[in-house]
């Protein structure tokens, strides 16, 4: 994976390159970025870049005394040129002997003490096919179902063992730890190693939630915040990489809030009638009564977690557009005919404060869905809350 394979983040890519070029690379980096931001593919590209710099490349001082790696022909090896190095071919296939991976796993049977190497074949396939996936996607791809992932004490022992060995061919050994949030108390086994690693060792940690990482681990790492790509970068990626229709790509880019994983999910379900489903929901909520609300909740329960989240995020998107229409006017907001009609009807039945209250409830519902809330109960409760938020201005929302 090259830097060019990562969507956007150009200033950050330049900063990382300069850290290597000027020999100012910390021994432990923490890439922190929200789901779908590209933190994992960026860290992966950087790890493959570092481990592919030839061990035999001479280091010479520059004007200020900083040691700069040189290639055999005397030029600095830029990230876009690293693919010409023999070691990169092994790194790109995730088979380089000095590039090690740690990630959440689960025991296949009671009593097992799994380590990441037990799932290395599945990991290579996952990274190749779905680099912007999240930990839920990963665990489902290895058949975890409802089981919880973990980075085990045995895995921490394995890292110690690997780093006590000499490098095989690269100047630097790289350990990439994905989702250190799953280290829990086992992470204490790595504290001394993170603080004083063996010479020519680089730790790269990739996380989504800083508050879920042991503070003692954070304090030993250089924090690198990975921002989400902007909507134009997401739109271009959907068109160029996923073959999306430009109009659909623009709509999705406006909804996904810089989350490329979410953008791909929305594109995959582009034919789903979210607008019609929302109309059905609000009609059931405002006009149908408890029986229709319960029926809708049962329908949503059957859809699965990802589609449930997409419907709620689409609803939030339309509420945000409704507010923009009130402030900026209908001509300043680009929406399809059905979406524009829906947004205008929302403005007839709700005030801005009511719309903000609904957004708050929808965001909380997404939070609970991600934590395996019972969908039928959640949507039934959410329907009741929506009814009480907008009951005084209810209008039938039909085409």
- Candidates 328, 316, 303, 305; CA nearest to 362 is 316
Distance CA 317, CA 343 (A): 10
CB 382 within 8 A of CB 285: no
Condensed to tens digits (0 to 9), the pLDDT of residues 243-261 reads 888 878 887 887 788 899 9
Output the pLDDT for position 72.
Answer: 42
Where would I find the H helices in the chain? Answer: 10-21, 39-52, 86-92, 120-129, 135-141, 153-163, 191-195, 215-218, 231-240, 246-256, 260-268, 274-283, 290-303, 305-328, 337-349, 352-370, 375-390
Output the pLDDT for position 333.
Answer: 59
CB 199 within 8 A of CB 206: no
Mean pLDDT of the region 309-331? 80
In the chain, domain spans: 3-228, 232-266, 272-393
Mean pLDDT of the region 217-222? 92
Distance CA 73, CA 79 (A): 16
Task: Please provide residue 272's backbone torsions phi and psi, each rounded to the nearest 5 degrees.
Answer: -70, 140
Q: Which fold has domain 3-228?
A: Rossmann fold (3.40.50)
Distance CA 167, CA 155 (A): 19
Condensed to tens digits (0 to 9), the pLDDT of residues 24-51 reads 888 999 999 999 999 999 999 999 999 9
Condensed to tens digits (0 to 9), the pLDDT of residues 277-303 reads 888 998 888 888 888 889 999 989 888
DSSP 138: H
DSSP 277: H
Condensed to tens digits (0 to 9), the pLDDT of residues 66-123 reads 655 544 443 468 888 888 888 999 999 999 999 999 999 998 887 788 999 999 999 9
CB 285 within 8 A of CB 395: no
For residue 59, what are its two tokens? 């280091």
Output the pLDDT for position 398.
Answer: 44
- The percent of residues in the chain predicted with pLDDT above 70, rounded, is 89
Output the pLDDT for position 226.
Answer: 96
Output the pLDDT for position 149.
Answer: 86
Distance CA 256, CA 376 (A): 25
- Candidates 154, 140, 226; CA nearest to 183 is 154
DSSP 203: E
CB 283 within 8 A of CB 291: no
pLDDT band at 197 (very low <50, low <70, confident <90, very high): confident
CB 100 within 8 A of CB 158: no
Output the pLDDT for position 73.
Answer: 41
DSSP 54: B
Task: Please provide residue 223's backbone torsions phi and psi, each rounded to the nearest 5 degrees.
Answer: -80, 130
Distance CA 1, CA 10 (A): 15
Q: What is the pTM of this model?
A: 0.74
Estimate to the nearest angstrom the gap between the alpha carbon of 246 and the chain centroid. Answer: 23
C-alpha torsion angle, residues 283, 288, 292, 293 (rounded to 10): 70
């Amino acid at each position: 994976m090259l830097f060019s394979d990562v969507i956007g983040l150009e200033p950050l890519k330049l900063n990382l390159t300069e850290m290597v070029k000027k020999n100012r690379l910390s021994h432990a980096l923490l890439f922190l970025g929200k789901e779908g931001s590209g933190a994992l593919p960026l860290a992966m590209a950087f790890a493959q870049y570092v481990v592919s710099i030839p061990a035999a490349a001479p280091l010479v001082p520059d004007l200020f005394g900083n040691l700069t790696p040189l290639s055999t022909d005397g030029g600095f090896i830029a990230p876009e040129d690293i693919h010409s190095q023999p070691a990169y071919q092994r790194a790109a296939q995730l088979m380089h002997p000095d590039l090690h991976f740690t990630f959440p796993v689960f025991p296949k049977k009671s009593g097992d003490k799994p380590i990441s190497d037990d799932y290395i074949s599945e990991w290579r396939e996952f990274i190749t096919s779905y680099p912007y996936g999240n930990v839920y996607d990963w665990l489902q791809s290895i058949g975890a179902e409802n089981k919880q992932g973990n980075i085990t004490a045995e895995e921490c022992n394995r890292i110690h063992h690997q780093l006590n060995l000499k490098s095989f061919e690269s100047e630097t050994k790289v350990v990439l730890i994905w989702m250190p949030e799953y280290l829990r108390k086992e992470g204490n086994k790595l504290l001394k190693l993170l603080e004083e690693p063996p010479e020519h060792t680089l730790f790269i940690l990739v996380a989504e939630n800083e508050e879920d990482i042991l503070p003692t681990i954070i304090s030993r790492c250089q924090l690198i915040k990975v921002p989400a790509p902007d909507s134009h970068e997401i739109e271009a990626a959907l068109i160029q990489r996923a073959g999306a229709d430009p109009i659909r790509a623009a709509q999705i880019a406006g909804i996904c809030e810089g989350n490329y994983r979410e953008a791909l999910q929305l594109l995959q379900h582009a034919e789903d009638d979210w607008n019609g489903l929302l109309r059905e929901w609000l009609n059931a909520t405002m006009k149908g009564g408890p029986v229709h609300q319960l029926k809708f909740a049962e329908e949503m329960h059957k859809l699965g977690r990802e589609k449930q989240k997409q419907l709620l995020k689409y609803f939030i998107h339309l509420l945000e557009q409704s507010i923009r229409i009130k402030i900026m006017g209908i001509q300043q907001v680009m929406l399809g005919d059905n979406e524009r009609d829906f947004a205008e009807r929302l403005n007839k039945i709700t005030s801005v404060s009511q719309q903000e209250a609904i957004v708050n409830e929808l965001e909380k519902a997404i939070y609970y869905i991600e934590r395996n809330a019972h969908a039928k109960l959640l949507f039934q409760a959410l329907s009741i809350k929506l009814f009480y938020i907008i009951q005084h201005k209810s209008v039938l929302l039909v085409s």
